[in-house]
Structure 1
Amino acid sequence: MEYTLTPIGYVHSMIKTRDQAPKQGTEGAPSAEISILPEYRDALDGMEPGSRLILLTWFHKSDRTYLRVHPRGNVNIPKRGVFSTRSPDRPNPIGLHEVTLTKISNLNLEVTPLEALDGTPVVDIKPAI
């Protein structure tokens, strides 16, 4: 079986490299903009500034061969399976980010905080519960 993910938009951020990215959004991540592709305009209906959202992203710069990693990249911590960590390097590098929607302008969503790299594909948006 083959599965396909289609980006609905892309992250525009001041974070350009993995070294610049905090491990979690709550660890000093900046605001970022999500540019939604025009064909998904109607999917934005009902979104309002102040809403808490879950962004699902595709970590396009991740290494998909890792099955074990040092948690948080700290070599002093023994390696563990990636499914017990939040490492971006994993078989299916799906990112999960809880953010606040601060502004909507046409097809652009301003969110905060977001630790994703500039150019990261966004594959879905859901309301946080």
Structure 2
Amino acid sequence: MREIRLKPIGYVEEGLPQEGASRRDFISTVRVFDEYADGLLGLEEYSHVFVIWYMDRVERVELRVRPRRLPDAPEVGIFATRFPPRPNPIGLTVAEIVAVEPPRLRLRNLDAWTGSPVLDIKPYDVLDAITSPKMPEWLRRLLNIDR
């Protein structure tokens, strides 16, 4: 298999201040490197984006995990979660665009850490919307979702 090389397009200038902080209320700032700032043209026409970022502080891999805040939850494989200790610690978040101010983006709901490398930004559109995704009971409890 061929080697994969990725080059960051920017970084999280201001990310979530602490683990457990509410990402739904926090406004993050992504700083796109000047050489890629022209790529932001037209992004203000969208309400949300996918932000693909590298979890550069992950130091271990765990193939089985148990949700930290739910001690009675079942042990599951890392690919059945969005937890960080992954073989390739790549973060993927759908974030709301608050402002496009090249070379910066202001985003709500980004769960990336300050300083994290940003690998790509893609617009979110109606083709990406899933209205009622299936999810395990332990995740519904963790997110306080009744259904």
TM-score class, shorter-chain normalisation, is 0.7 to 0.9
User: Which residue of 107, 115, 119 maps to 1:119?
Assistant: 115
Match of 1:43 in 2: 39
User: Which residue of 96, 106, 109 maps to 1:110?
Assistant: 106
* Structure 1: tracts of 5 or more residues without a match: none
* Identity in percent: 35
Q: Larger Rg: 1 or 2?
A: 2
Query: What amino acid sits opposite 2:124 in the alignment?
Result: A
Match of 1:10 in 2: 11
**2:34 is the alignment partner of 1:52:** no
CA distance in 2, matches of 1:93, 1:38: 25
Query: What amino acid sits opposite 2:111 in the alignment?
Result: E
TM-score (norm 2): 0.74
RMSD: 2.1
* Structure 2: tracts of 5 or more residues without a match: 126-147
User: Which residue of 42, 52, 61 maps to 1:65?
Assistant: 61
Tell me, yes or no, if the aligned pair for 1:58 and 1:93 is still in contact at 8 Å.
Answer: yes
1:120 positional shift:
0.9
CA distance in 2, matches of 1:49, 1:34: 18
Tell me, yes or no, if the aligned pair for 2:51 and 2:118 is still in contact at 8 Å.
Answer: yes
